[in-house]
Structure 1
Amino acid sequence: MSREVVVREAATTVLLRDAAQRGPDQLEVLLLRRHASHVFGANAYVFPGGAIDEADSDTALAARCISGTEQAATAGGSVGLAASMAAIRECFEEAGLLVGCVARGDESQRDALRVALNDQTRAWADVAAVLDLRFTLDDLRYFAHWTTPAGPPKRYSTRFFAAAAPDGEALCDGHETTHVWWASPAEAVTAHDRGEITLMTPTRATLETLRNYDNVDDALAGLVETAAALRA
């Protein structure tokens, strides 16, 4: 007798940057290769993201928001602000980048805190307190909601956000993610078509849309406009 797979709420963030080294008007997106040991999406190239935890609804985190709370609550739907919090947390866990927030505290502990967060020995609210984070949730633009179809061993109801990549180097954690790749959307799609990499359907669809834009500002605006048109 088969057991029904519970659909978990999740969030992911598409980090974008303008790549001057490629020439004028070149857009890049951050892709991370999932570890081969994963039951879901092993070795696939994905955007930073993961399941929403109960701790993402901690009121201490909400109290640190300085902008975008109403927008985030609307974008998060039934999971509210927790979706944005999860998107920010997962970027830090999987890529080592702090997006949608400003750190006002001592960042000398940043790497150690990331390790502790991944090891689940420190909570996200604790990390936010040590780094004295202030969340600017309007830096994250909600643009899509994908749900894994029946069949896979794990299923997710995922809110997709996009944001300009913050300063700093993206570094995989070696556990959840094993390779960092800043790719142009067209480059990633071509690599998938050649069988060189694996892309899941939502990732591929997002990259196809991003091929229409040459820079971060246009891409962010375009994703939001396209999403609004589909909901209309």
Structure 2
Amino acid sequence: MSGAVAVRDAATTVLLRDADPGGTDGLEVLLLRRHGSHVFGANAYVFPGGAIDAADSDPALAARCISGAEQATTEGGAVGLAAAMAAIRECFEEAGLLVGCAARGNEGQRDALRAALNDQSRVWRDVADVLDLRFTLDDLRYFAHWTTPAGAPKRYSTRFFAAAAPDGEARCDGHETTHVWWAPPAEAVAAHDRGEITLMTPTRATLETLRAYGNTADALAGLVETAAVLRA
């Protein structure tokens, strides 16, 4: 019997914001500390993300897209649209933020819906229906694809997206994530190198890249440009 670990498709979102409204005090990126009970990446600081669920491919979700669906399919291949949906869903589950979409329904149910997603009593389509979400997938900038190497207890083929952080406060859920840090990229890398925090390889590499940018607009443009060059 083979002991090989199956590779699951996944998605993650690098949420960026300017440290000040004028965009002159530097860039910050959302990092979440994973719960210590996780088999994979326990206590590591990560971007919001996770495995793509079968429900992320629901045609009813695609029907709610008002922009970016074709681009997501072109950039992400067969799982492109589902990857974008998973990236948005995971941001909501793990950080409580709605990115790449606008809610036109009952905002008062957001917390209850988030809790239901996390305990798996509801799926992403339910949330989209109740909140009457309209997806703008071109708000997500696809820029990288990492696959966990052989030997890890879990393996993922992960599409990386970047996006400007939406309005609202990021809040950990206490189960998947236990701490929120809006980190200047250079500070996060330095903390890792001093042994104060744990960063997985793709997270550290992304933060290293982001050190070169002083604001959100430049970072998004730079990530997309670099990705285009690598794909050429």
Q: TM-score, normalised by structure 2?
A: 0.98
Name the stretch that deviates more: 159-168 or 73-82.
73-82
2:207 matched residue in structure 1: 207
Gaps of 5+ in 1: none
Q: What SS does structure 2 have at the residue aligned with 1:20? A: coil
Q: Against the structure 1 CA distance between its residues 34 and 145, is the aligned structure 2 distance closer, same or farther, given a 3 Å change threshold?
A: same
- Report the aligned-residue RMSD: 1.3
In structure 2, give the amino acid aligned to 1:109.
Q
Q: Does 1:130 align with 2:130?
A: yes
1:40 matched residue in structure 2: 40
Equivalences, count: 232
2:9 matched residue in structure 1: 9
Q: Does 1:152 align with 2:152?
A: yes
Q: What SS does structure 2 have at the residue aligned with 1:10? A: strand
Shift of 1:210: 0.2
Map residues 23-102 of structure 1 onto 2, 5 A cutoff.
24-102=24-102
In structure 1, give the amino acid aligned to 2:16.
L
In structure 2, give the amino acid aligned to 1:202.
P
Mapped partners of 2:80, 2:193: distance in 1: 36
Shift of 1:80: 2.5
1:192 matched residue in structure 2: 192
Residues 189 and 204 of structure 2 are in contact (CA less than 8 Å); yes or no, is this contact kept in structure 1?
yes
In structure 1, give the amino acid aligned to 2:10.
A
Q: What SS does structure 2 have at the residue aligned with 1:143? A: strand
In structure 2, give the amino acid aligned to 1:203.
T
Q: What SS does structure 1 have at the residue aligned with 2:199? A: coil
Q: What SS does structure 1 have at the residue aligned with 2:146? A: strand
Q: Against the structure 1 CA distance between its residues 132 and 23, is the aligned structure 2 distance closer, same or farther, given a 3 Å change threshold?
A: closer
Shift of 1:2: 5.7
Mapped partners of 1:177, 1:228: distance in 2: 32
Runs of 4+ in 1 over 3 A off after TM superposition: none
Q: Does 1:143 align with 2:143?
A: yes
Mapped partners of 1:75, 1:24: distance in 2: 32
Shift of 1:191: 0.3
Q: TM-score, normalised by structure 1?
A: 0.98
Shift of 1:38: 0.3
Deviations 1:71-115 (A, max 9, x none): 111222221300000000000000000000000011000000000
Shift of 1:192: 0.3
